[in-house]
A and B are shown apart, each in its own frame.
Chain A
Amino acid sequence: MTDAAKNSYVRSLVLLVSLVFLFFFLERWVFAPVMEARLPEDNVKYWEEHARRNSGYPPSRIRLALAYTEVERLDEALHEFEAALKLQPHLDGAAIGRYGVTVAKGEKERALTALASYAQEHPGCGVCWQNLAFEYLDLGRLDAAATAVDALLASSFDVESGMYSVGNLRFEAGLIAGRVYAARGEHQRAIAHYSDAIREDPSDLRGYVLQAESLLASAQPNKALAVLDEARGRLETAENDRMQRRIQRLQAQARRAGTSR
C-alpha cells in the first residue's frame, strides 16, 4: 500500500471516530435536552404531519394514536387505532391500543367485546388474552378468565409490537394463570402455574408470594414457608419494602397455620 493510501485510511479513521464522538456529544447534551423539553402537543403535531404523508402505513397511525392518547384526545386516538387495524387487520398493537383507549373512555364492556372478538380471530395474540384474563378476573367472570388464560398459554408468546411493554410474557402468563385458577379454588393448578412463572423469572418475587398464598389456601404451610424463605433470600434492598412486609405477613400466617395443625 502506498503512503498516500495509508494516510487517507488514517484520515478516514480519525474522521469516523471524531464523527461518532461528535454525534454522541450532540445526542447527550444538545438533542436530549431538546427532546425532554418537547411538549405532548409537539408530539401530536409531528406525528400528525408524518401520518398525513404516510397514511398507508399502520405503525405511523399507531404513533399518532399514542400521541393523541397522551393529550387525552381519545376519540381521535380511537379513530387512528381503527385506521391502523383497517390497514393491517392482524396488528396486535393497534388492537391493544384500541382496547386501552376504549377503557379510558369509560366503555369497558365495549372494549372487552372488541378485544375478545379480535383475540378469537387472532388467537396468537398473547397480549390480548393476557388483557382479557386480567379484566375478566377483575370482573369476577372466572370461566371467561380461565378460557382466556388457556388461550394465552397456548399462544406462542410472540410480542409483535414495541408499542406496549409486557416484560416477560411467559412469566406474566404463568402469574395470571395462577391467579385465575386460585380464584376458582383450583389451588394445585395455580401452584403449578406459579412454579412455571418462577422458573421463567426467579428474580421476580411475585411468583413466590402468590404461590405461597395458594399453598396456604390448600393447607400446605410448610411448603409455603419454604417458598417464602426462598423469596426472602432474594430480597435485595429496601426498595422491596412492600414486598418484604407482604412476605413477613405470609410467613407469620404460615407459621400460625403450621402450629395449629
Chain B
Amino acid sequence: MVAEIEGAAGGTSVSRVPIRDQYIASPAFDWVFFIGVPLVAVAIVMAAAYFLPAARIEYYVIGYMAVGHHIPTMIRAYGDPGELSRNRVQLFAIPLCVAPLVIALTLFDARLLTLIFVWDQYHFIRQHYGFMRIYNAKAGLGGDVDSSLDHWLCFSFFICILAHSGFYGYMFADSFYDVGIAVPNWLVNTFRTGSLVVAIGVGVVYLARLQSRIARGLPVAWLKLAVFATSLGVWYYAYVVITDGFLNYAISSLFHCIQYDAFAWHYNRKKARAMTPTRGNAFFRMINKTSNLWMYIAAIWSYGLLSAFGKDVSLAAFLALNTTTGVLHYYFDAFIWRVQRVDFREHL
C-alpha cells in the first residue's frame, strides 16, 4: 500500500511506503535471512569454534554452503525459461569457454586460479549492493544520485575493510607474491590510507544526504540502512577484528550464502507461482514449490557433499568443477538478478 503524504519540502507530494510493505518476503523472513543473518552467522561460527577446530568449521561452511550455493544460480539461469531465452548466448557460450580454460589452468597448476578470490569478494559486495537496491525500490525510492551514493557507500566501505583486514592483507600479499608480483610497500600503504579517506568522505556525504532527506520529510529506506549496518558491521568484525583466517571467511561466506539461497528461493517461488503452467517451465515450478523446499535444500547440500567426497577421489577434477561453477555463479549473477529490469521487479 502506498500512502500519499505532503512532503515538507516545498509542499511537493511524496509517496511513502509503510515499513511493513518494504520487506522483500515478510518482516520475520527478512530479519532472519537477509538483515539479521550476518549477526546470526557470527553467533553460529563463534559458538561452533568452542567445539570444533576452526579449519573444520571453514571446511563445513565451504563444503555445505559455499559450493552448494552455486546450485540456485543454475536453477535460475537454466531452469527459468525467461532467463534462458533472454541470455542464451551467455548461458551456453560462456560455460563452453570457461570449463576448458579452468580445466587447463588446473592441469597446469596455474597460480592464476588462486586470484579468483578477488572476484569472490567482488561478488560478495555486489550481492549486498543488490539487497540495498531492492530495499530502496521496495521503499518506493529511486533516483540516480541515491543509486550512485549507495554504490559508492558499499564499495568504498568494503574496499576500506579489505584494505585494513589482516586476513586479506596477507592473502593478497601471499597470492601475488607467489604469482611473481611483489606489490611495493608504498603502493599498499597509499592504497590503505586512500581507501580510508575515500570511505570517510563518502560516509560524510551519505550522512549529509540522509540528514537532508529526514529534515525535508522525505522517505528513507530504513531497511536498506539496516542491511548495510549489519553486513558491513559484521564484515568489519570478521575481517579486521578476528585474526583467525578460518573463522573470518567462514562468517562472511555463511551469511552470504544464506542470504543468497533464501533470496533465490523466495524470488523463484514467487515467480513460479505467477507462471502459466507449460512443459517448458515444469521443472522450475516443481523445484520452487513450497512443498518441495526440501528438494531445493537437498540439491544445494548434495552438490556440496558430492564435491567434499569427490575431492577424495580426484582432487583436480573436483577443484576444476567447483571453480568452473564458481566462476559461472559470479558471472551469471551479474545479469540474472538485475533489479533495474522492470520484469524482474514484478516478482519482488
Give the B-binding residues of A (Cβ under 8 A): 1, 6, 9-10, 13, 16-17, 20, 23-24, 27, 30-32, 34-35, 42, 46, 49-50, 53-54, 56-60, 63, 87-88, 124, 156, 158-160
Main secondary structure of the interface of A (DSSP, over half): helix
Of B90, B180, B182, B245, the residue contacting A30 (CB under 8 A) is: B180
Give the distance in Å from the alpha carbon of A34 to the alpha carbon of B192 in the complex.
26
> Complex: how many Å from CA A54 to CA B164?
9
Q: Which residues of B contact A58 (CB under 8 A)?
A: 243
Confirm or deny: B213 has a beta carbon within 8 angstroms of a beta carbon on chain A.
no
Q: B170 contacts which of A6, A13, A57 (Cβ < 8 Å)?
A: A57
Does B185 lie within 8 Å of A17, measured CB to CB? no
In the bound complex, how far is the Cα of B178 from the Cα of A32, in angstroms?
9
**Closest residue of chain B to A122, judged by CB?**
B53
Which residues of A sit under 8 angstroms from B55, Cβ to Cβ?
A: 158-160
> Which of the listed residues A16, A31, A34, A57 has the most CB atoms from chain B within 10 Å of its own CB?
A57
Residues from chain A with a CB closer than 8 A to the CB of B166 are 54, 56-57, 60
Q: Does B89 contact A (CB under 8 A)?
A: yes
Contact B180 A35 (CB under 8 A): yes
Q: Is the CB of A6 within 8 A of B89?
A: yes
Residues of A within 8 A of B177 (CB): 46
Is B174 at the interface (CB under 8 A from chain A)? yes
B contact residues vs A (CB 8 Å cutoff): 53-56, 86-90, 93-94, 97, 101, 105, 108, 110-112, 166-167, 169-170, 173-174, 177-182, 185, 188-189, 192, 243-246
Can you list 20 A-B contacts (CB < 8 A)? A1-B86, A9-B89, A13-B93, A13-B97, A24-B108, A27-B111, A31-B180, A35-B178, A35-B180, A53-B188, A54-B169, A54-B170, A57-B166, A57-B170, A60-B166, A60-B173, A88-B243, A156-B56, A158-B53, A160-B246
When C-beta atoms are compared, the residue in chain A nearest to B246 turns out to be A160
B110 neighbours in A (Cβ, 8 Å): 24, 27
- Which chain B residues lie closer than 8 Å to A17 at the CB level? 97, 101
CB distance from A259 to the nearest CB of B (A): 44
Taking the nearest CB of chain B, how far is it from the CB of A2, in angstroms? 12
Tell me how far the C-beta of A211 lies from the nearest C-beta in chain B, rounded to whole angstroms: 24
